[in-house]
């Protein structure tokens, strides 16, 4: 387990002792966006598909248009973290907080994303991924009024210790927006609806929350770039 990971008990809500004090929070560097990218690493994602996800994300973050948007705000920067999810209670921080403030820092983040080892995951515990990402935002070394969890996956929420709707509601109560990218490799989920509809109902929430769709796993790079453009802008 990564020593920088939030404790597993964060699935039940962030303990008050872990939340930074007001004085500490005010002394933290301010960025224009705190963004947790929660990527599907479950058993349905094979090695090549996983590589496509990582490469698509890394390429998007080094796109000049993304860098321009990320550095156009008052603080000229955003901060990102990468979470991998799948197993119930098993979401983990693959890449802890890094600040994107220019092309060089974007390239450094992209390289770190490509190099990070894949975690061992199974199932589709989206709720636990949201809970982990919420705790990660609450304990971030940066501060921002705009806080977003970006969930990308190819299946519905299954076997979460904290079901996705509850995890989503707890995130929204902390003024965090949860967006989603549905990789719709099947026409409907096991619940009889398209994955995007399932994410609309059970996963997204908060100000301006939205679902974006990738029609295939190969379409992920295009979709994640479009999604980042919208979230950062």
pLDDT, tens digit, 9 for 90 and up, residues 107-149: 999 999 999 999 988 888 999 999 999 999 999 999 999 999 9
Give the number of domains in the chain: 1
Q: Which domain holds residue 168?
A: 29-187+199-232
pTM above 0.75, yes or no: yes
Residue 86 in any domain: the answer is: yes
Beta strands in the chain (DSSP E): 34-40, 78-85, 92-100, 147-153, 177-183, 211-214
Residue 180 in any domain: the answer is: yes
What's the pLDDT score for residue 24? 61
| ∠ Cα 223 229 231 (to 5°) | 100
Residue 20 has pLDDT above 50, yes or no: yes
Residue 19 in any domain: the answer is: no
pLDDT, mean over the chain: 89
Residue 9 in any domain: the answer is: no
pLDDT, tens digit, 9 for 90 and up, residues 30-43: 999 999 999 999 88
Residue 43 in any domain: the answer is: yes
What's the pLDDT score for residue 120? 86
Residue 177 in any domain: the answer is: yes
CATH number at 137 reads 3.40.50.410
Produce one character per residue of 79-106: b if its CB has 16 or more CB atoms within 10 Å, e if not. Answer: bbbbbbbbbbebbbbbbbbbbbbeeebb
pLDDT, tens digit, 9 for 90 and up, residues 46-63: 888 888 889 999 999 999
């Amino acid at each position: 387990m990564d020593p920088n990971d939030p404790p597993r008990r964060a699935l039940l809500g962030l303990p008050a002792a872990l939340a930074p004090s007001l004085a500490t929070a005010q002394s933290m560097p301010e960025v224009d966006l705190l963004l947790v990218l929660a990527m599907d690493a479950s058993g349905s994602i094979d090695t090549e598909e996983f590589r496509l996800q990582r490469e698509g994300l890394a390429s998007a973050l080094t796109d000049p248009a993304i860098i321009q948007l990320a550095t156009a705000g008052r603080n000229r920067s955003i901060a990102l973290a990468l979470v991998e999810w799948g197993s119930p209670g098993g979401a983990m921080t693959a890449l802890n907080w890094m600040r994107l403030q220019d092309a060089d820092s974007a390239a450094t983040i992209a390289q770190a994303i490509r190099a990070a080892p894949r975690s061992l995951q199974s199932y589709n515990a989206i709720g636990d991924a949201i809970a982990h990402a919420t705790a990660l935002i609450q304990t971030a070394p940066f501060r921002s009024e705009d806080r977003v969890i970006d969930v990308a996956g190819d299946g519905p929420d299954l076997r979460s210790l904290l079901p996705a709707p509850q995890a989503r509601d707890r995130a929204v109560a902390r003024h965090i927006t949860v967006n989603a990218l549905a990789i719709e490799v099947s026409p409907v989920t096991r619940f009889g609806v398209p994955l995007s509809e399932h994410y609309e109902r059970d996963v997204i929430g908060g100000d301006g929350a939205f679902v974006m769709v990738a029609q295939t796993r190969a379409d992920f790079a295009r979709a994640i770039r479009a999604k980042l453009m919208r979230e950062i802008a």
